[in-house]
Structure 1
Amino acid sequence: MLGASLLPHEYTHSWNGKFRRPYDLWTPNFNVPERDDLLWVYEGLTNYYGMVLAARSGLWTPQQFREAMAATTASMTFRPGRQWRPLQDTADEASILYYVPGSWATWRRQVDFYAEGTLLWLDVDTKIRALTHGRKSLDDFARQFFGIHPGSPVTVTYTFDDIVKALNQVAPYDWAGFLRTRLDYVGNALPEADGLGRAGWKLGFTDTPDSYQKAMAVQSHALNQMYGAGLLVSDNDGRVIDVLWDGPAFKAGLAPNMQILAVDGKTWSRDVLADALRAAAQSKQPISLLVKNLDYVSTLKLDWTGGLRYPHLARIPGTPDDLDRILSPLR
């Protein structure tokens, strides 16, 4: 499972808007219509364990896990589209959202049940650990829920109520309410952030990319400043790949598929834009962008003085490190 679905949401689409993977839905037999409302389970949970098992097996170091989790958390934190589209709806609309263009992803939302689903199951995992004082975890749920009929080729389907029932057998709690509160939430917050906090960590930002961010930049050929100035720009030609809805670049008038020709009077390059963002943090002056939109060229003012911003995880002082426990190999 160490594939494209482990990447932060912005990186799961190619820039021509075509998704790299076919969508998967479920049905108990050929006489029943396909359903996708539980994609937050069979994609989100798979994605979560894909990351956890990569660290437990030694394919990733704990630091690499934290870097990937920081990117995932940041991508889902900066989702203003959550004001109108809940996580559940990204699953219900999967057959459509898989094929929408990659632009305006933060407002439209896309197949966020992968990334936000990952955070949801971290939330469940840490809640089980808290309820049982560390005696049980999501591993107990997985063994009980998936470890049935070993060796049998027969597919066993399940429902939301089945998931709730199995969770209650591991740690009695209002799991239906817990899950629905997160799945149906509409607002500005990231409801699953509780799981990260419960694990003893929080999202933070620095002006230096970590190894994960560097690798993503090489893979995507783009400068990702969605969490600062609010834009994702192609290294090659300055084309704006996406813009954070209602972010600084959005307010400056930038939109996907515009092309940045010059920055503060200097011909476009990735380094020129990065240097301008650093300089603006000191000067507190807007950045001047010469932008091409179809056949028109204009100058826009990007009013962002926060510099470069890259996500990372920071420890919450005085709390136990549950991530360390989650990532420890099982004996």
Structure 2
Amino acid sequence: MSALHYRIRPADLAGHYFDVTLTIDEPAADGQIVWLPVWIPGSYLIREFARNITGIAAYSGKKPVELRKLDKHRWQAVPVAGPLELEYRVYAFDLSVRGAYLDDTRGFFNGTSVFLAVAGQESQSCDVDIAAPRGEAAKRWRVATTLPAVKVKDGGFGRYRARNYDELIDHPVELGTFDQESFKACGVPHDIVIAGRHRTDFKRLKKDLKKICEAQIRLFGEPAPFDRYLFMTMVTGDGYGGLEHRASTALITSRPDLPLAHETDRKTGYIQYLGLCSHEYFHSWNVKRIKPAAYAPYPLDREAYTRLLWAFEGITSYYDDLMLLRAGILTPQQYLDLLAQTLTGVERTPGRRQQTLEDASLDAWVKYYRQDENSPNALVSYYTKGALAALCLDLTIRLRTDGARSLDDVMRALWQRFGRDFDRDGQGVGETEWEAVASDVAGFDLKAFFDQALRSTEDLPVVSLLDAFGVDVQQRPPLGGSDKGGWRGGTISAGISIGARIAADPAGIKLTQVFDGGAARAAGLAAGDVLVAFDGLRVGAGSFDGVLASYPAGAKVHVHAFRRDELIERTLPLQLAQADTWGLKLREAGAYPLRLSWLDE
């Protein structure tokens, strides 16, 4: 029997409230403290989940017990002789993968949002009773979770058990009338749950996910680190996102991105969704078990700083699409097209000249997760540039060892040393250990590589490395605002650029971000300004590309714009668009044996 007992029930569907009861059999003699995490692992931002607790009370033997709030996320009960019971209500209306959500169609929660931790007893096992909501609307509701079941009904409502608080909060729960299908990968049961209206071709989805999962399990070596895995997807009109857990992932995707039975090809949106699934699944090894020492254990009452996020998110971002290639979902050229889009995204970020990958990792709490209109000028993504650093590291090792070693070997070594026995030993990777392991596995000193890739703002050696693997590189101007990258034949002339990102506005064109060194910045325009006229003529988003094309480079245009409610006039010096768009193509002539092993042609 567990000494801690939770009960959670969807109590008010229309009001979006969960009711939770926590019973502590042996509370602290000097007055038990309980607390709620301020962030959720995998999403590096202080989110203050305790703000959603709208009412809380304590009892012992059915008698009220004084409960004093200590700070933003902690409460303390006065000493009691017997068991202590806390009852509280949680507001749940966060339609994301990070919090909790409840309405009359669906429920979802992460433990970090709803389960109070018992100070001093975080290592104790705990039982969780998940109760069904009342009312006609919820009679067909079911439960989907990877929490170990103790005694549950056919629909999944009933009792579950976690070994400790860390495990309790690492198994999100989906409630509702979702659709569910199953498959096996390397003999391990996998479930797919999709909530929301959809017409998904489950046959195709199961076939594709099985290939991806088996490719990843075989990369690290069987057996898989879980007995069962669950893909949970919430379908919306235009959503996208995911969050990893030790035996499951919570995902949000756009309805059109899921595969339909009548479709013969894998559409762009579906490939993006599979890439998201691949990314979160890879985290089962890389960050859930191979993890920074700063996360072992997670200090959930404060920020956890590490300079290694590039390795855990960036390397995962490298492997997510690479695993689609190895699974046979993508052709080598399709993979290179996606890689070109990543290169383009980084190239178009002036902040890559300001922030190193190590600093990007360290500053995730205050910069990456708190982006504003100036973020492209001030920061670089440890996801995208981290993926490119992983690419360069992989190709460097393959090249220097004539194909005898690769980043795969580094990841397997990290798994054997830190990940495989993490549940038993709890050993995280130290801030300097990751690089030491990589050098040891590669068989040569990688310090110079890491100094350039992680601790400088120099360009990565992408071009020279790809050339050695028989991949031609094209750097060209964009062919309009929707051009994300990819190889283009023929002569490409540079168009006109104002050096800003724009969005349609009822009054004209809104500048959402203004880039350092661009024309808009030179003209004194700022993010938030709404352009209404070029040389006295009204402009709109639909005609803007044509308006720009009517001017030569170097032309100075008299523009009118609204800044807040004030009309301003500026002179805009038009510039040629930069060659910031990448294309990659397999070189046909010549033999490239190293390319064969990398792209698995």
TM-score band w.r.t. shorter chain: 0.7 to 0.9
Question: CA offsets per residue over residues 62-110 of structure 1, 9 Å max, x none?
Answer: 4443333223223323444444432211111111113433311232215
Q: Secondary structure at the match of 1:103?
A: coil
Contact 1:91/1:113, CA 8 A, preserved across alignment: yes
Quote the Cα distance in structure 1 between the aligned partners of 2:483 and 2:596. Answer: 19
Give SS of 1:49's match.
helix
Alpha carbons 2:325, 2:599 under 8 Å: kept = yes
Is residue 177 from structure 1 mapped to residue 445 from structure 2 by the alignment? Answer: no
Q: Distance in 2 between matches of 1:53 and 1:141?
A: 16
- Judge conservation of contact 1:55–1:65 (CA < 8 Å) in 2: yes
**Equivalents in 2 of 1:73, 1:181: separation in Å?**
17
Partners of 2:442 and 2:462 lie apart in 1 by: 21
| CA positional deviation for 1:306 | 2.0
Partner of 1:327: 599
Q: Are the equivalent residues in 1 in contact too, given 2:556–2:574 (CA < 8 A)?
A: yes
Contact 2:511 2:528 in 1 (8 A): yes
2:412: which partner in 1? 143
CA distance in 2, matches of 1:210, 1:83: 23
1:4-83 aligned within 5 A: 4=241, 26-29=294-297, 34-83=304-353
For the pair 1:193 / 2:462, whether they are aligned, the reply is yes
Aligned to 2:7: none
Match of 1:248 in 2: 519
Contact 2:561 2:567 in 1 (8 A): yes
How far apart in 2 are the matches of 1:54 and 1:210?
27
Provide the secondary structure at the position in 1 that maps to 2:526.
coil
- Give the Cα separation in 1 of the matches to 2:405 and 2:358: 27
Structure with larger Rg: 2
Distance 2:554 2:347 in 1: 26
Tell me, in whole angstroms, the C-alpha distance in 2 between the residues paired with 1:255 and 1:319.
Answer: 50
* AA matched with 1:56: R
Q: For 1:205 and 1:164, how far apart are their aligned partners in 2?
A: 34
Match in the other structure for 1:222: none
Deviates more, 1:88-97 or 1:171-180: 171-180
| CA-CA distance at 1:228 after TM superposition | 4.5
The structural deviation recorded for 1:307 is 5.2
* Root-mean-square deviation over aligned CA pairs: 3.8
1:259–1:125 Cα change, 3 Å: same
**Greater share of helix residues, 1 or 2?**
1
Q: Contact conserved, 1:274 with 1:308, CA < 8 A, in 2? A: no
Return closer, same or farther for 1:62/1:254 CA change in 2, 3 Å cut-off: farther
1:302 paired residue number: 572
Higher relative contact order (CA 8 A, sep 6+): 1
* Partners of 1:251 and 1:211 in 2: CA distance: 24
Structure with a larger share of its residues in strand: 2
Q: Is the 8 A contact 2:558 2:570 kept in 1?
A: yes
Q: Which letter does structure 1 place at the counterpart of 2:360?
A: T
Asked if the contact 1:279–1:307 (Cα under 8 Å) also holds between the matched residues in 2, the reply is no
2:540 is the alignment partner of 1:269: yes
Q: Which residue of 2 aligns with 1:279?
A: 550
C-alpha contact (below 8 Å) 2:347/2:580 kept by paired residues: no
- Shift of the 303–212 alpha-carbon distance from structure 1 to 2, 3 Å rule, reads closer
Q: Is the 8 A contact 1:43 1:117 kept in 2?
A: yes
Match of 2:531 in 1: 260
SS at match of 1:235: strand
Per-residue CA distance 1:152-184 (angstroms, 9 max, x = gap): 744541124432333233322221332122211
Task: Please give the per-residue CA displacement for 1:29-80, whole angstroms capped at 9, x wherever unaligned.
Answer: 3679833211011011111111211233244444443333223223323444
Aligned letter for 1:293?
A: R
Ranges in structure 2 where 5+ consecutive residues have no aligned partner? 1-211, 213-239, 243-286, 486-493
The structure-2 alpha-carbon separation of the partners of 1:137 and 1:72, relative to structure 1 and needing over 3 Å to count, comes to same
Aligned counterpart in structure 2 of residue 231 of structure 1, from 493, 500, 504: 500
User: Quick one: structure 1 residues 73 and 166, their matched pair in 2 at CA, closer, same or farther if it must change by over 3 Å?
Assistant: same
Give the SS at the match of 2:582. strand
User: What is the aligned length?
Assistant: 296
Question: Taking structure 2 as the reference length, what is the TM-score of the superposition?
Answer: 0.43
CA distance in 2, matches of 1:169, 1:81: 32
Q: Summarize the Cα distance change of 1:57–1:304 in structure 2 as closer, same or farther, 3 Å threshold.
A: farther
Deviation at 1:301, TM superposition (A): 3.2
Aligned to 1:9: none
CA contact (8 A) 1:265 1:288 kept: yes
Partner of 1:13: none
Give the residue type in structure 1 aligned to 2:572.
L
Alignment of 1:197-208 (within 5 A): 198-199=468-469, 200-208=471-479
2:401 corresponding residue in structure 1: 132
Name the CA distance, whole Å, in 2 between partners of 1:43 and 1:67. Answer: 21
Superposed structure 1 runs of 4+ greater than 6 Å apart: 316-324
Return the TM-score normalized by structure 1.
0.73
State the alpha-carbon separation in 2 of the partners of residues 253 and 316 from structure 1: 43
> Which residue of the partner structure matches residue 115 of structure 1?
384
The Cα offsets for residues 5-37 of structure 1, whole Å up to 9 and x where unpaired, read as 9xxxxxxxxxxxxxxxxxx98422367983321
CA distance in 1, matches of 2:557, 2:342: 29
Give the aligned partner of residue 106 of structure 1.
Answer: 376
Tell which deviates more after alignment, 287-296 or 237-246: 287-296
Distance 1:303 1:183, change over 3 A: same
Q: Matched residues in 1 for 2:422 and 2:354: separation?
A: 42
C-alpha distance in 2 between matches for 1:308 and 1:83 = 16
Query: Equivalents in 2 of 1:106, 1:198: separation in Å?
Result: 31
Whole-angstrom CA distance in 2 between matches of 1:316 and 1:229:
33
Q: Percent identity?
A: 20
2:398 & 2:542 partners in 1: Cα distance?
45
1:254 deviates by 2.0
Once the two structures are TM-superposed, the CA of residue 312 in structure 1 deviates from its matched residue by: 2.7
Distance change in 2, residues 1:276/1:113 (3 Å):
same
